A and B are shown apart, each in its own frame.
Chain A
Amino acid sequence: MKRAILIAPLLAGCVIGSDRYQRPRDLPSGHTVDRPRVLAIRLEPPEAAPGDTVTATALFPDPLDQVDVHLWLACPPELATSIGCGVTADDGLIGMEPGRPPSLTLPDTALDGVEPNQLGSGIYWNVQVMGVPQDFITNPPTDASSLDFNQIESAYKRLVVSTNPQPNRNPDLVGFKLDDADVAPDAIMSVRAGQRYKVEIVYADDAVEDYTYTTSDGVEEQRTEEPYATWYSTAGHWANPFAMYPYGYTHWDAPTEVGVEGQLWAVVRDRRGGMGWAERAFVVAP
Chain B
Amino acid sequence: MHTLLLALLLSPALAQEPVDAPADAPSLIWDAADLPEVEPITYTEVLDDAGEPIPVDELPLTAGPGVITYVEAPYPADAQAAELEGVVKLLLELDEHGRLTHAEVLEPIGHGFDEAALAAVAQMTFSAAQTQAGPVGVAFEFAYGFTFQPPPVNPELPVAPPPVTLEGQLTEMGTRRPIADAKVILDGTEYVATSDEDGHFAFPGVPPGTWHIKVLSPEHVITERDVDVVDGEVTAVDLWLRGLQYRENEAVGVYEAKREEVTRRTLTIDEVKRVPGTFGDPIKVIQTLPGAARSPFGTGMLIIRGANPEDSGVYVDGVRLPIIYHLTGTTSVLLPELIESVDYLPGGYSATYGRSMGGSIDVKTKSKTAEDGLLTWGADILDAQIYYEGRLGKDKQHGIALGARRSYIDAFIPLFMGNASFSLKPRYWDYGVKLLPEVGGRNKLTGFVYGFNDVLRVWSPADVSQGPDQDTQGALSVEYASHRAVVTYEHTFSDRLKFTTTPSIGVDSAITNVGESFKLDNVNTIAELRAELPWQATNAIEIVPGLDAVGGLWRFEFKSPFNLQQAVDPLAEREDVVLDGHGTALSPDAYLKVNLRPFEDEDRLLIAPSLRANYMRLTYAGSVTGGEGVPPWNATSYDPRLTVRGAVSEALVLKGSSGLYHQPPQPFESVGLGTSLNLGYEQAWSSSFGWEHKVTPVVQWDVDLFYRDMTDLITVNDNFTGFGGSPFVNAGVGRAYGAELIVRHLPHNGLFGWASYTLSKSERRDCATCDWYAFDFDQRHIFSAQGGVDLPKDWGFSAQVQYVTGNPSSPSNAGVYDVDTDTYAGFRVGPANSVRLPPFFQTSVRVDRLWTYRKWQLETYVDLLNAVRGVNPEFTQYAYDYSDFAYVRGLPFIPNIGIEGKFFP
Could you list which residues of chain A lie within 8 angstroms of chain B, going by C-beta atoms? 7, 10, 13-24, 26-30, 37-38, 40-41, 82-84, 121, 124, 148-150, 153-158, 160, 213, 215-216, 223, 226, 228, 230, 239-240, 242-244, 247, 269, 271-273, 275
Known interface pairs A156-B816, A239-B421; 9 further A-B residue pairs with C-beta atoms within 8 A, sorted by A's residue number: A14-B869, A17-B893, A20-B871, A24-B877, A83-B827, A149-B827, A156-B818, A158-B571, A215-B575
Q: What is the interface size of chain B, counting residues whose CB is below 8 A from a CB of the partner? A: 47
CB distance from B472 to the nearest CB of A (A): 10
Return the contact of A273 from the options B571, B575, B864, B880 (Cβ within 8 A). B571
B873 at the interface (CB under 8 A from A): yes
Contact segment of B77-85, B108-116, B211-219, B882-890:
B882-890
Sampled A-B contacts (29; CB under 8 Å): A10-B845, A13-B867, A14-B867, A17-B868, A18-B870, A21-B873, A23-B886, A23-B889, A24-B877, A24-B887, A27-B886, A83-B825, A124-B571, A150-B814, A150-B883, A154-B817, A155-B816, A158-B820, A213-B573, A226-B470, A228-B465, A228-B470, A242-B468, A247-B463, A247-B465, A271-B470, A271-B570, A273-B571, A273-B820
B877 touches A27 (CB 8 A): yes
Chain B residues within 8 Å of A244, by CB:
465, 470, 473
B33 at the interface (CB under 8 A from A): no
Chain B residues within 8 Å of A20, by CB:
871
B571 touches A160 (CB 8 A): yes
* With contact pairs A21-B871, A150-B883, A244-B465 given, residues A216 and B575 touching in the complex (Cβ less than 8 Å): yes
Interface residues of B in 845-888 (CB under 8 A from A): 845, 847, 864, 867-871, 873, 877-881, 883-888
Most buried by B among A19, A158, A230, A247: A158
Chain B residues within 8 Å of A124, by CB:
571
Chain B residues within 8 Å of A213, by CB:
573
B815 at the interface (CB under 8 A from A): yes
B879 touches A28 (CB 8 A): yes
C-alpha gap A243/B464 in the complex (Å): 7
CB distance from B368 to the nearest CB of A (A): 37
C-alpha gap A84/B815 in the complex (Å): 11
CB distance from B323 to the nearest CB of A (A): 29
Interface residues of B in 437-465 (CB under 8 A from A): 463-465
C-alpha gap A157/B467 in the complex (Å): 20
Most buried by B among A20, A23, A40, A230: A23
Return the contact of B468 from the options A19, A157, A160, A230 (Cβ within 8 A). A230
A155 touches B817 (CB 8 A): yes
- Across the two chains, which residue of chain B brings its CB closest to A42? B819
CB distance from B851 to the nearest CB of A (A): 16
* With contact pairs A40-B819, A149-B827, A150-B813 given, residues A18 and B465 touching in the complex (Cβ less than 8 Å): no
B838 at the interface (CB under 8 A from A): yes
Return the contact of A13 from the options B815, B869, B885, B887 (Cβ within 8 A). B869
Chain B residues within 8 Å of A275, by CB:
819
Return the contact of A228 from the options B468, B820, B870 (Cβ within 8 A). B468
B 554-595 binary contact with A (CB < 8 Å = 1; else 0): 000000000000000011010100000000000000000000
* With contact pairs A269-B820, A271-B571 given, residues A21 and B465 touching in the complex (Cβ less than 8 Å): no
Could you list which residues of chain B lie within 8 angstroms of chain A, going by C-beta atoms? 421, 463-465, 467-468, 470, 473, 570-571, 573, 575, 813-820, 822, 825, 827, 838, 845, 847, 864, 867-871, 873, 877-881, 883-889, 893, 895
Return the contact of B893 from the options A7, A14, A27 (Cβ within 8 A). A14
Return the contact of B819 from the options A17, A19, A157 (Cβ within 8 A). A157
CB distance from B892 to the nearest CB of A (A): 9
Chain A residues within 8 Å of B473, by CB:
244
C-alpha gap A20/B889 in the complex (Å): 12
- Across the two chains, which residue of chain B brings its CB closest to A127? B819
Return the contact of A240 from the options B465, B813, B845 (Cβ within 8 A). B465
C-alpha gap A284/B814 in the complex (Å): 33
CB distance from A221 to the nearest CB of B (A): 9
A242 touches B465 (CB 8 A): yes
Chain A residues within 8 Å of B822, by CB:
230, 269
B820 touches A27 (CB 8 A): no
CB distance from B138 to the nearest CB of A (A): 105
C-alpha gap A216/B870 in the complex (Å): 54
CB distance from B790 to the nearest CB of A (A): 15
C-alpha gap A213/B572 in the complex (Å): 11
Return the contact of B867 from the options A10, A82, A84, A228 (Cβ within 8 A). A10
Return the contact of A38 from the options B463, B573, B817 (Cβ within 8 A). B817
Return the contact of A17 from the options B575, B825, B869 (Cβ within 8 A). B869
Most buried by B among A16, A27, A38, A84: A27
Chain A residues within 8 Å of B888, by CB:
24
CB distance from A19 to the nearest CB of B (A): 6
- Across the two chains, which residue of chain B brings its CB closest to A153? B817
C-alpha gap A7/B825 in the complex (Å): 49
- Across the two chains, which residue of chain A brings its CB closest to B877? A24
* With contact pairs A19-B871, A272-B571 given, residues A157 and B820 touching in the complex (Cβ less than 8 Å): yes
CB distance from B627 to the nearest CB of A (A): 13
C-alpha gap A41/B817 in the complex (Å): 11
Q: Which 7 residue pairs are nearest across A and B when measured between Cβ atoms?
A: A17-B869, A30-B880, A149-B814, A155-B817, A83-B816, A13-B868, A157-B819
- Across the two chains, which residue of chain B brings its CB closest to A217? B575
- Across the two chains, which residue of chain A brings its CB closest to B797? A6
C-alpha gap A89/B463 in the complex (Å): 45
* With contact pairs A14-B864, A83-B816 given, residues A27 and B575 touching in the complex (Cβ less than 8 Å): no
CB distance from B895 to the nearest CB of A (A): 8
B825 touches A82 (CB 8 A): yes
Most buried by A among B820, B883, B889: B820
C-alpha gap A22/B817 in the complex (Å): 24
CB distance from A220 to the nearest CB of B (A): 12
- Across the two chains, which residue of chain A brings its CB closest to B881? A30
A240 touches B464 (CB 8 A): yes
Chain B residues within 8 Å of A10, by CB:
845, 864, 867-868
* With contact pairs A240-B464, A244-B465 given, residues A14 and B868 touching in the complex (Cβ less than 8 Å): yes
CB distance from B718 to the nearest CB of A (A): 15
- Across the two chains, which residue of chain B brings its CB closest to A84? B816
C-alpha gap A119/B816 in the complex (Å): 29
C-alpha gap A160/B885 in the complex (Å): 34
C-alpha gap A169/B242 in the complex (Å): 85
B884 touches A28 (CB 8 A): yes
- Across the two chains, which residue of chain B brings its CB closest to A225? B470
* With contact pairs A230-B822, A242-B465 given, residues A149 and B880 touching in the complex (Cβ less than 8 Å): no
C-alpha gap A244/B462 in the complex (Å): 10
A27 touches B884 (CB 8 A): yes
Chain B residues within 8 Å of A21, by CB:
838, 871, 873, 886-887, 889
C-alpha gap A38/B824 in the complex (Å): 11
CB distance from A76 to the nearest CB of B (A): 16
- Across the two chains, which residue of chain A brings its CB closest to B888? A24
B819 touches A155 (CB 8 A): yes
C-alpha gap A216/B565 in the complex (Å): 13
B818 touches A26 (CB 8 A): no
C-alpha gap A28/B883 in the complex (Å): 9
B886 touches A24 (CB 8 A): yes
B845 touches A156 (CB 8 A): no
